[in-house]
Structures are given as C-alpha cells and as structure tokens.
Chains A and B, each alone.
Chain A
Amino acid sequence: MTRRLWSAPARGADLLIQGARVVDPLAGLDTILDVLVRKGRIHLVGTDLEAPAACRVIDADGWLLLPGFVDLHAHLRTPGREDEEDLASGTRAAAAGGYVAVFGMANTDPEVDTAPLVEALALRALSEAVVPVGFFAAVTRGQRGEELTEMWELAQAGAVGFSDDGRPLNSAHLTRRALQYAKVTDRFVAVHAEDESLTRGGVMHEGAVSAKLGLGGMPPVAESIEVDRALELAAYEEGRLHLCHLSTAASLEHLERAKKAGVHVTAEVTPHHLTLTDECVRGLDPNYKMNPPLRPEADRKALSQALRSGLIDCLATDHAPHAQQEKEVPFEDAPFGTLGLETAFAAAHQTLVASGALKLPVLVERMSQSPARIAGIALPTVQAGEEANLCLVDPRETWTVTAAQLHSKAKNSAWLGTKMKARVKLTVAAGSVAWEDGAR
C-alpha cells in the first residue's frame, strides 16, 4: 500500500465544537450541530453534546464547520527554493486557509523525477509538515519534455500523479506516451495547457487591456488549442487526464464535449481566475501577473458557472510563492504566479457565494471532497468514526490581507490590501489542531 500524504506526528485533538453550522455535502449536512473530537477522531456529531472531562469546548455560534480543504496544485518550492517556501511554511499557510491536505508540484530544483526524491520529501514532511502533504512527480526527466520518468517507481514511492506543470507538454507525442504509460500506475497526468509558440513574449491576456498597456499578449487560444489536443489524446488512449488551472471559456467548451463523450478527465480552476480579471493589470502591479493570465469578465463568469455545474471538478490554488526581490521588478520582468492558500476560501466565498453565484455546499464540495476524490485520498467528512479533517470559519469576520500576517515565506499575494469577509478560525488536519486564530 502506497501512502500519498505525510505530516509530522499527530497530536490527537480533544475538542467539543458547539453550535456550528455544519456544511458537509458528503454527509448530507447543512444544520446547526455539535461535533465532539476525541484523540483526533470525530467521536460524535449531534445536538447538546456534553464535554468529557478536560476536553476543550469551542463556542462556534455563528461559525461554519466544514470538511477541510484539499489543494491539488501548490508550489511548495522544496527542494531548492526554501527561501521562498518550505514544507513547514507552506503547510502553515495551508492550515491558515483551512486546508487539511496539500499537494506540491514537481517543478522544484532539482525536479521531483526519481523515487528517492519523493522519499526524501516524504521524510522531510514527517518532521516539518503541519498539514499532510503529498507530491506530484514529473512527467519527464528534469521536466525537459524529452524522456518519461520512471512512473511506476514514482507511484510506488507515493507520488499522487504526474505533471510537468510550470511548463506545458508541448508535444502531442509526449502527451500521448505519458497518458499511455501512466495507466500502469493508476495515477493521472496533470497538464498545464499552453501552446508556447503562441505565448512567447506574452505577460498578460491578449485583449483590450494589453492593447492599452503595450504588453505582450497571451491569447486564449494558446490554452484551448492545447486543452483540445490533450482531450483528444486522452480519449484515444483512454488515459486519465487532469487539466490544471483552466482560464478560458473556449477550454470549457472542449471539456464539456469530452466529458459528454466519457473521456476520463478532471479539471481545476484557481481562486484568482474565479475572482479577478485582466482589468486588475492596469496598474502594472506584478502580483497580478500569472500564467495562465487573468482573463476578461466573460471568461471569469464562465469559469464560475462551470465550477457550479461540476464541469470543473475542483478549485486548486496554484499557490506560487516568489521571493520579494524577484517580484519587485517592472511588471514585464516579474515571474508568473500569486500566493493562494491563505486566501482561497475567503476570496471564493465573498466573490461567488456572497453574490449568489455559487451555493456554499457546492463551494465546499469543490474545495474538499472533489479534489480528495481526484487525488485518491480519504474524503474529509464530518461523520462519527472519521479522522478529524475540518475547519471552522467565521463567515462574518472581515480582515485585510497584509504581508505581515501571511504565513508563506513569500508575500506575493494578488489580494494584498484586499478586504476579505470570512476568516478561517481553526483547522484540524489529520486529527491535530494545525491552525487557530485567536479562539474565543
């Protein structure tokens, strides 16, 4: 049996959470309940529960109790760029965002392309990670887009899936071979869809804003062409495909067609593509520079609808820490990416749930159980007998995102200075309290 998640030894929590609104689509719950956690497991879910002796009681009146979130797409920068993020800081950030499992992408230095590297990361996670963490392995050696990695061994070592994310797989041949060979591992291939011949020199979405600013454009077809090609290959090979960070309406049309035809495909969308648009770039703040780039409102809306309908399976952060000195440069010179773990729920909640575009249980499902299902890990759920993987959220608390309070080592958040509503107050991951924000 291969393990896919590692964290520091559990300190089984004993908690009685009283009077929270428990929203758990898997358990079919959306009601005010008490939840008793003993030794890190959910012991009882009910009303008027009594606190055992020496058990801490949390008055959660007015708060939400949700199954903890799972992030399929984070850049934890370890090994190689621990100045930007390490497993401790990255999982602290995850915990502060309500996450109970997070998966690191393989575009590290060196790339995660051999089993001993996965094993070494797992060892580090056992001493550093406050939230269970798992790892992607590269599709190709050194992510050079030439030779496949030893996928079977990587899977044995516990890799959750395969991805060269950060870079696309820019050859149909390679995408085909990866989809074929990964079948022996029972893992999926996660694709960053981008035709680089169309995005060369591009730093933002190609459209009215890039016309005004004189910035190199990244046309939306650069993504949808590659999405379509990957889908055709997945259909042909009956391989298992996961599409990373979709950003355009055209990609969704391809995805819808493929899903109707029964292609084994899943897809994710980031909090920034769901809540921000290319209009944000007008001030040339490098924190709004990401790849895929922020798109116009019509795309944002289409993504939000696709998340609601389930066409897009899950929300994933594409959490991308960058050193301060690398982002504090002219927009055109800055690297792509924004932090996401600590702001994902609040951003999605205030933009999508508060506006009525998305029901809360749907957002919870897309952030928790759906990505867990894709990763093949136990689904977080608020049911007696389960390991406690949950978070408490005050949906009314307002807070402003500042660099000082972010737990990531890097501070390149697209939401710096943004007033957020809804704050994660407590996270229990794998039975341990991983985050607590001034309990009452």
Chain B
Amino acid sequence: MAKRDLISIDDLSAADVDLLLDTAESFLPVLQRDIKKVPTLRGRTVINMFFESSTRTSTSFDLAAKRLSADTIGIKAKGSAVDKGESLKDTIITLSAYSPDIIVIRHPRAGACQLASANTKASIINAGDGKHQHPSQCLLDLFTLRQAFGRNLKGLKVAIVGDILHSRVARSDIAGFQLLGMEVTVIAPPTMMPREVESLGVKAEYDLADLHKADVIYLLRIQQERISQGANFLPSLREYATVWGVTRSRLRPGQKVMHPGPINRGVEISAAVADDPDTLIARQVEAGLAVRMAILYRTIVGGSDSDTKEAL
C-alpha cells in the first residue's frame, strides 16, 4: 500500500477533509479531561523536523503526538547535523533508520517535502514549506469555521487580506476553502499579489472597498523583511496599516476575523480588533491541537473506518 503523505491541501478530497475534521471533533472531549491522553498511537514514532522557527505549529504537533501516546523526537536545524552541512536527503535517510511512522517537516524551501518523501518510508506531513503550502493550518482554519458557522460552509464568503504573494497559508486556504464550496476574494497591495492570481479561482482586489461583503476576514501577517533593503514591496508599515489594516470601523457587525498568527498589532490588525473576543483567532489556536491529532491519527490508521470511538 502506498504511504499517506500530507504535502498539499490538493492531496485531499472534500470527503477526506470531512473525515479529518470529524475525527478532530471526536478528539475534543479528550482534551477536556483531567488525563488528556489516549493510547491510540502507543509504540508509534513521530519525528518533528523544524528547519524554520515556529511556536504554535511545532508545539501543537508535538503535543498532538504525545496526547496520542506516540513517541516524539523534535529536531531543529540549529544544533543538529544540518548545522554541520548535512543535506536534507541525508538527514531524512539517517532519521529513517529509526523507522519513524511519521516525519513532520517545516522547511524554508518549497520542494523539501517531495524530496523527503522520496527518501523515506515514513509518511511526510508538511508543516509549512517555503511559500508553497501549510495544509494543517488550512484544516484547523476549516475546523474553526465549522465551529462558528456549522458543518456546511458552502457559499460562505471569505476575504484573505495581506501578503498573498509570500503566504503559504493563503495558498493552502484558497484551495481548502474552495474545496468546501466557499467563495474566496484576495486583497493585497499590487506588489504582494501573485501574477495571474485569478487562475486560482479567486477574485482579486487592491483595497478594502468591498470588505463589507465578506462573512469572514482572514488577515495575514505582514513581515518586516518585506519593507527592508530595497525589496520595495511596501513603502512603510504605517502606510500598509492606513490602507489595508483592519480596524473596528472597517468591520460590520457579525463579520468574523481570523489570523494564523503571530499577529502584528497596529499593522494588519488594530489592537482593538485583536483583543475583541468575537474574533476567531484564539479558537484557531485551540483547534490546532485537535486537528493535528486527527492528521497524525488518520495518517497512520487511514481509511474511512468508524473506529475513532474505539480508539478513545
């Protein structure tokens, strides 16, 4: 049987996504218990390789594996053989000698997961590769949306606002939101809009004039490096905040705000919006754990079997 990888949201069908989200939901009660651990993946090994800094993704994958009783190993570029110039291929081959079931990879370069997958029997889960994909983020976003809007997300209008060009979250979310029938508009300064972005099936806008039409406003982090050293994507963060920053006055009641974090208060999101309990930002973080448990579980157990309850 071919191993299961999760490299791109495009690897999944709508039914696959439903199963993953249902599985995640069934894990929620576990996380409320005093003893937040099930024996489901006892004896299994999950390696978390993070070649790029990460807080929520790395901790939630690690914790998710531990909640399922898997053995986990965390590897960072710094302090590992990668620091000594070992190639990704050799690192993967070396780690594969320990027969892990899953290798979770975050890497600054697109193509890292394909290379890893070709060199190991372990399943590869992409925890973010360059500006390409971040499928677990998309799944936890969908999970959060289902909690807020119900199971059927068809027809829901989402505006993704920010640096679309450099965002793996945007690329995963566009594909995943569309998979479940949502309508996606992307809003960005022209310098941060990918050329031919309409080929992704989205509407593209350069300002917030039509922001009120969206049910959900998904904000992306503006990175400091985009305004440094003659990159010329933006003249200043101040101007970005003025033109594209989301403030209370730009929101209508009932609109839900999401953000993958970490947020820049006062840039893409005003402090007042960030602190508003009505946003879904904290819910996204919470969803991360259950969804990543579901990803690990389904990667190993697979299938559309209805044995999740037994597993608990």
Chain A residues in contact with chain B, CB under 8 A? 206-208, 210-215, 217, 219, 283-286, 325, 328-334
Contact = CB atoms under 8 A, between A and B. Distances in A.
Contacts of A332: 109-111, 130
A325 B195 CA distance: 32
Nearest to A332: B109
Contacts of A207: 195-196, 199
A290 to B, nearest CB: 15
Given A214-B130, A215-B131, 15 more contacts: A206-B195, A207-B195, A207-B199, A211-B195, A214-B131, A214-B133, A284-B111, A284-B132, A286-B111, A325-B87, A328-B87, A329-B87, A330-B112, A331-B110, A332-B111
A412 to B, nearest CB: 14
Contacts of A215: 110, 130-132
Query: 3 closest A-B pairs (Cβ-Cβ)?
Result: A331-B111, A214-B131, A208-B199
Contact of B132 (A214, A283, A333): A214
B197 interface: yes
Contacts of B112: 330
A329 B110 contact: no
A334 B194 CA distance: 22
A211 B200 contact: yes
B168 interface: yes
B50 to A, nearest CB: 15
Nearest to A201: B231
A74 B217 CA distance: 52
B114 interface: yes
A212 B109 contact: no
Contacts of A329: 87-89, 109, 111, 115
30 contacts: A208-B196, A208-B200, A210-B194, A211-B194, A211-B195, A211-B196, A211-B197, A211-B199, A212-B171, A212-B200, A213-B171, A214-B130, A214-B133, A214-B166, A214-B168, A215-B132, A217-B194, A284-B114, A284-B132, A286-B111, A328-B87, A328-B89, A329-B109, A330-B110, A330-B111, A330-B112, A332-B109, A332-B111, A333-B111, A334-B111
B107 interface: yes
Contacts of A331: 109-111, 114
A219 B168 CA distance: 21
Contacts of B168: 214
Nearest to A296: B196
Most buried by A among B115, B167, B199: B115
Interface of B: 87-89, 107, 109-112, 114-115, 129-133, 166-168, 171, 194-197, 199-200
Given A286-B111, A332-B109, A333-B109, A217 B132 contact: no
A286 B109 CA distance: 12
Nearest to B199: A208
A141 B112 CA distance: 37
A286 B200 CA distance: 23
Nearest to B114: A284
A328 B118 CA distance: 10
A284 B130 CA distance: 12
Nearest to B111: A331
A328 to B, nearest CB: 5
A217 B196 CA distance: 11
A330 B107 contact: yes
A331 B131 CA distance: 12
Most buried by A among B109, B114, B133: B109
A215 B130 CA distance: 8
A131 to B, nearest CB: 34
A330 to B, nearest CB: 4
Contacts of B131: 214-215
Contacts of B114: 283-285, 330-331
A212 B115 contact: no
A328 B133 CA distance: 20
B130 to A, nearest CB: 6
Contacts of B171: 212-214
Contacts of A283: 114
A213 B131 CA distance: 7
A328 B199 contact: no
Contacts of A217: 194-195
Contacts of B89: 325, 328-329
A117 to B, nearest CB: 31
A285 B200 CA distance: 21
Given A208-B196, A208-B199, A330-B115, A213 B87 contact: no
A283 B88 CA distance: 18
Given A325-B87, A332-B111, A213 B132 contact: yes
Contacts of B196: 207-208, 211
A332 B112 CA distance: 9
Nearest to B112: A330
Nearest to B89: A328
A332 B132 CA distance: 11
Most buried by B among A207, A285, A330: A330
B111 A328 contact: no
Nearest to B51: A330
A414 to B, nearest CB: 15
Nearest to B195: A206
A219 B195 contact: yes
A284 B194 contact: no
B121 to A, nearest CB: 18
A206 B194 CA distance: 9
A208 B171 CA distance: 12
